[in-house]
Amino acid sequence: MNRARRLARLLNILAAIIAEPGLNPLELADRAGVSERTLRRDLNQLRELGYEVAYTSGYEVQEKLNLEGRPARAPKRAYEQQLELLQAVAQAVGLGGDGATRTGLRARPAKGARTPGARKKSAPIVLIPTGEMDANFIYATGFPVETGLYIRFAKGDEVLVASPLEVDRARVQSRVKNVLVDHDAYVSKSWAALAARMLRERGIDAARVSPQLHAIQLENLRASGIAVEVDRSLFVAERRHKSEAEAEAIHASQRAAEAAVVEVARQLAAADVKDGLLWSNGDPLTSERLYARAQLVLGEKGFTCPDMIIAGSPDNALPHYRGEGQIRAGAPVIIDIFPLGRTSHYYGDLTRTVVVGEIPEEFRRMHAATVQALEAGEESIRAGVPAKEVHQAVCQVLVDRGYGTETRGYEGPDGVPKMNHSTGHGVGLEVHEEPAVREGADDELREGDVVTVEPGLYKLGLGGVRVEDTGMVTANGFRNFTTITRSLDPKDYIS
């Protein structure tokens, strides 16, 4: 094996040790794509390059693998350049933990060598889309596509590679100025190999990738000699902070959601009641018919929501039940619509609950408590507030009104309707993204976050209610993008 390939393999092993402390030898060999025998030899090689590598699980394994943790020897002159590169990789991937609290392999520079500091985001970003709606790929390029390749070598130095099918559209729609076409990568689906070749042409053998990257692409990159770091924080902070243009795109999706909810309410308000069920023009009024009407309204406005919820009781006690069959009178119907802009690629998110006919007192009280909890949550939102405090404000109202939650400390009485989900989530290029508004969310809300507030109450065999708004976090409070009524009466949506 030539020196370049051997060095690439050592880089992979070192990066795996540093990025994921605590791996046992079998796991490390699997991550690095080598045999146990090769791993043993390469670990000794790393010692010669000036790294201490110790396995802290027990004497038997130490003896078998000859990993005694003895002091590292001084690096050999022949490997000085390689050592510098290995240390650069250690700095690039960062120390994933101190290794003291977990059993496994760990690595650190020998005495006298430079100590890796905080993770440096210097490695190029390589994105291979997981499908047309890959949010990170769209964020980086402004271009939704099923297959392709994006590499950001450095700020202002980026390239988008498309197939012959998509290259013209890429040049028109994407934000990337340097757009190339590659027929072979498209035909053979070898985007990872193309990425590795383009990196090596610049003398680069490391890259950062999205956590959503398909495993086969990750393996192909590593098999091509690229030391890959899965960057769990990739674009998270950038995507959380919405610009005014992004906020307006989400607001537009929210307006489309409102129009769709109004159409569903219109159909419900006009329905006939017979034997406790809803009918329209002599036919059963079903979730499917209401879905079709809502989708038509969205489509006419340039939006879509294939997974919307229009769910009648009692099955809507399951919060993610989509809805099917004929709608009952005198019981809640949950309408949860989260449209995607077909050109903006940004989502909205809106939920309302209505009852056709006479509203039973039990549901009226559940709905009133949910709306009060919604208002308390929204009033508690502002930049700098821990997200969990918004969730706690919602839970406190529900408990004070005699209901319960699954949040510790806010369980409420036994046998009552309860909220069994978080209060909300971020909205953007994905309908569920950071930040989370839930139990244990210590992260503070930031100016520019767009979040939902969506309390609900559910009881199996009875049904559920949920009310949801979406808006932006500001320094002064919650800028609500939602203007539609929260009434239980569908007639109030069309007056």
pLDDT at position 63: 32
- The two domains 125-234 and 240-493 share their CATH topology (first three levels equal): no
Please report the DSSP string for 449-467 in residue order: -EEEE--EEEETTTEEEE-
Please report the DSSP string for 58-82 in residue order: -HHHHHHHT---PPPPPPPGGGHHH
CATH 3.20.20.150, applies to 125-234: no
Please report the DSSP string for 133-162 in residue order: T-HHHHHHHS---SS-EEEEEETTEEEEEE
- Give the integer Cα–Cα distance in Å for 191 and 128: 7
pLDDT at position 64: 36
- Give the integer Cα–Cα distance in Å for 427 and 453: 11
pLDDT at position 71: 41
Q: Are 260 and 294 in contact (CB under 8 A)?
A: yes
pLDDT at position 84: 52
Neighbours of 142 (CB within 10 A): 14
pLDDT at position 33: 75
What are the φ and ψ backbone dihedral angles of 182, each rounded to 5 degrees?
-140, 110
pLDDT at position 19: 65
Per residue of the chain (495 residues), what is the pLDDT tens digit?
A: 556 667 777 777 777 776 676 676 767 777 777 776 677 677 767 766 666 666 544 323 233 334 444 444 444 443 445 555 555 554 544 433 333 333 344 444 444 333 333 334 589 999 999 999 999 999 999 999 999 999 999 999 999 999 999 999 999 999 999 999 999 999 999 999 999 999 999 999 999 999 999 999 999 999 999 999 999 999 999 999 999 999 999 999 999 999 999 999 999 999 999 999 999 999 999 999 999 999 999 999 999 999 999 999 999 999 999 999 999 999 999 999 999 999 999 999 999 999 999 999 999 999 999 999 999 999 999 999 999 999 999 999 999 999 999 999 999 999 999 999 999 999 999 999 999 999 999 999 999 999 999 999 999 999 999 999 999 999 999 999 999 999 999 999 997
Please report the DSSP string for 156-205 in residue order: TEEEEEE-TTTHHHHHHH-S-S-EEE-HHHHHHT-HHHHHHHHHHTTT--
CATH number assigned to the domain with residue range 240-493, chosen from the 4 options 3.40.980.10, 3.40.50.10540, 3.30.465.10, 3.90.230.10: 3.90.230.10
Strands of the 469-474 sheet, one edge to the other:
433-437, 424-426, 450-453, 469-474, 477-480
| Residue ranges covered by each domain of the chain | 3-109, 125-234, 240-493
- Give the integer Cα–Cα distance in Å for 210 and 230: 6
Q: Are 280 and 270 in contact (CB under 8 A)?
A: yes
What is the longest distance spanned by two Cα atoms in the chain?
A: 90
- Give the integer Cα–Cα distance in Å for 399 and 232: 36
Backbone torsion region of residue 286, taken as left when φ is above 0, otherwise alpha when ψ lies between -120 and 50, otherwise beta: beta
pLDDT at position 50: 60
pLDDT at position 269: 97
- Distances in Å between the alpha carbon of 375 and those of 4, 231, 378, 390, 391? 62, 37, 5, 11, 12
**pTM for the complete prediction?**
0.76
pLDDT at position 48: 63
Say whether the peptide bond before residue 435 is cis (omega within 30 degrees of 0). Answer: yes
pLDDT at position 16: 75
Q: Are 471 and 482 in contact (CB under 8 A)?
A: yes
- Distances in Å between the alpha carbon of 65 and those of 10, 44, 60, 224, 287? 17, 10, 9, 28, 63
Task: List for the chain the helix, strand, coil content (%; round to 5).
Answer: 40, 20, 40
pLDDT at position 199: 97
Place of tokens 């060095």: 7
What are the φ and ψ backbone dihedral angles of 479, each rounded to 5 degrees?
-95, 100
- Give the integer Cα–Cα distance in Å for 346 and 342: 8
- Distances in Å between the alpha carbon of 109 and those of 13, 40, 51, 55, 334? 14, 18, 5, 16, 58
pLDDT at position 189: 94
- Distances in Å between the alpha carbon of 312 and those of 330, 360, 408, 462? 10, 15, 29, 11
Contacts of residue 439, Cβ cutoff 8 Å, sequence gap at least 6: 388, 391, 407, 408, 422
- Give the residues across from 466 on adjacent strands: 456
